[in-house]
Amino acid sequence: MLEAKDITFGYDAARPLYRGFGLRVEAGERVALQAPSGFGKTTLCRILAGYERPAAGQVLVDGRALPRRGVCPVQLIQQHPEQAVDPRLRMRKTLAEVGEVPQQLLDDLGIREEWLQRFPHELSGGELQRFCIARALATRPRYLICDEVSTMLDAVTQAHIWRVLLAYAERERAGMLLVSHTPALTNRIATRTLDLTKAACR
């Protein structure tokens, strides 16, 4: 189980976004996180994946704190893939950050061999997002945090990416927390919805 326990966090300590907040995501569950713009959804995604350290509280996977080093069992896929990669690295090297990435995974995501030689700015947003997903899934995460991962993409790419993410979650019984402003998408994907405005005290 992925658990956020008694989380207090604020960019400005005097005005926390959440106080003593908690959530649980079971293996195999897909939880849609809902709240108005600016409430703190992306911030919570970052906390759950260990990118931000809460002022108080803990993020636990099966009762254990997230590792400070090495591969994290909670992988975040972000809305803006260009912010998730080193612009100075060719895509082959970006993928190599997590070791060997299975060819099958690259094929499933439709990543072309010729793209591996390119730099991030030489790819479209959808192509780059496929690399970010490949890099995340290659680590075989127990939990996936999908923060508006397909918002900027056309319908075909969006469907393709979600097919791969859902297939992974089902095959590995991975838990998922997703943020999306498209109700049709969350209705189709989520097994449960969490309203952050009701769950988080400010």
Ligand X SMILES: Nc1ncnc2c1ncn2[C@@H]1O[C@H](COP(=O)(O)OP(=O)(O)OP(=O)(O)O)[C@@H](O)[C@H]1O
- Which residues of the shown chain bind ligand X in the complex (CB under 6 A)? 11, 17, 35, 37-43
Please tell me the distance from the alpha carbon of residue 198 to that of residue 23, in angstroms, as a whole number.
12
Identity of the residue, 22 or 67, whose beta carbon is nearer to ligand X in the bound complex: 22
Instruction: Please identify, using beta-carbon distances, which residue of 74 and 111 lies nearer to ligand X.
Output: 74
The CB-of-40 to ligand X minimum distance in angstroms stands at: 4
CB of 38 to ligand X, least distance (A): 4
Report the residue number, 11 or 107, with the smaller CB distance to ligand X: 11
Strands across the sheet containing 192-195: 74-77, 143-147, 175-179, 30-34, 192-195
Rank residues 38 and 70 by Cβ distance to ligand X and give the closer one: 38
User: Helix (H, G, I), strand (E, B), or coil: what is residue 142?
Assistant: coil
- For 76, residues 6+ apart whose C-beta sits below 8 A from its C-beta are 45, 46, 48, 49, 51, 136, 145, 147
We find the least distance from the C-beta atom of residue 123 to ligand X, in angstroms, to be 23
- Least distance in Å: CB of 101 to ligand X? 29
Let me know: does 168 contact 174? Beta carbons within 8 Å. Answer: yes
End-to-end CA distance of the chain: 25
CB 39 within 8 A of CB 202: no
Residue 109 or 196: which CB sits closer to ligand X?
196
Least distance CB 37 / ligand X (angstroms): 3
